[in-house]
Amino acid sequence: MSINVILNQMGVIFLLIMTGFLLNRKGIVKFEENRLLSTLIVNVFNPALIISGVLGDEKTATFKEMMQVTLLAVIIYIILIVLGLFYPKITKIPKKDQVMSNLMILFSNIGFMGIPVLSGIYGKEVILLYITIFLIPFNILVYTYGIFLLTKDLKSGREKFQIKKIFNIGVLACIAAIIIFAFGIRLPKFAVSTINYLGSVTIPLSMITIGISLGATRLKEVFSDIQLYKVAVLKLLILPITLVFLIRPFVDNPVILGVTVILAGMPIGNISTLLANEYDLDSDLPTRGIVLTTLLSLITLPIVFMFL
């Protein structure tokens, strides 16, 4: 493993976050205006990124490997859902923070950090499809279970979850991605270029919105919340290291093992902050969690690699 890959990527992440932070602190973009950016990311740019992940010509994985990665992804997300439900209650996290703590445990930064870090280790051509397979259930959960958690208990009339909400733009993008890959559909070049352009906006703009949200928080609070440290240890160390011992007897391919474990050990994903902004909820906790776990991952990722 090259430590430079992680260091370089961390530098990119924090420069983008700092851009948003300065935009907010200088009064160029107000915190209230951040919701519009979040809406565009959740409903336009992120769905385009989902589809763009299956538009490449390189299909290096075998059917057996794809099924193995799919099974591992499903198992891991089931584990994360269970952890997200019980961990906040067991650790006596305040009730007002339990939903966001659930989301922070469930959703990791597997796209922005996962792709460059794992590409630097195994090569982009090898791991891109594996990560795409992880992203499909990830995004399905974001646009179904994640939204359900955020809307089931809104103050304005306790909005009830409706089955029709499952078929939103995010899930439709996931379904489209599966169909395109499964049937080898080739889109016109101009359509591919448009989707790729829209998708490419997601990563930098997402980090900038986090920085804008961070601009409205007190930085010392990022490093003074004991509960966030507990979540960080669970996500960044306990979970991925435990998975190494659980998965290794059943996985012969070291790349699949490495990709699965490292993706499970990624820091909190920015989607938690984006969804909180989208639904007018307090994004302070997930924003602080993103910054803290991203910083700590600089130390924890090399430790996790030692167990592979």
pLDDT of 165 reads 61
- State phi, psi for 214 to the nearest 5 degrees: -65, -30
Residue corresponding to tokens 């909180």: 276
pLDDT of 123 reads 73
Question: Cα–Cα distances in Å, from 121 out to 26, 117, 216?
Answer: 38, 7, 36
Amino acid at 61: A
Structure token digits, residue 292: 């803290």
Contact indicator for 6, 301 with CB cutoff of 8 Å: yes
pLDDT of 154 reads 54
pLDDT of 244 reads 94
Q: Kindly give the confidence (pLDDT) of every residue in the chain, 308 residues in length, as a single tens digit, with 9 standing for 90 and above.
A: 556 777 777 788 889 888 999 999 999 988 778 878 888 888 899 888 888 877 876 655 677 888 899 999 999 999 999 999 888 888 878 888 888 889 999 999 887 778 778 877 777 666 777 888 898 888 888 888 888 888 775 554 445 555 666 677 877 888 888 888 878 888 999 999 999 999 888 888 888 988 887 787 777 878 888 889 999 999 999 999 999 999 999 998 989 999 999 999 999 988 888 888 777 777 788 888 988 998 898 889 888 988 88
Domains (range + CATH), the chain: 3-305 (1.20.1530.20)
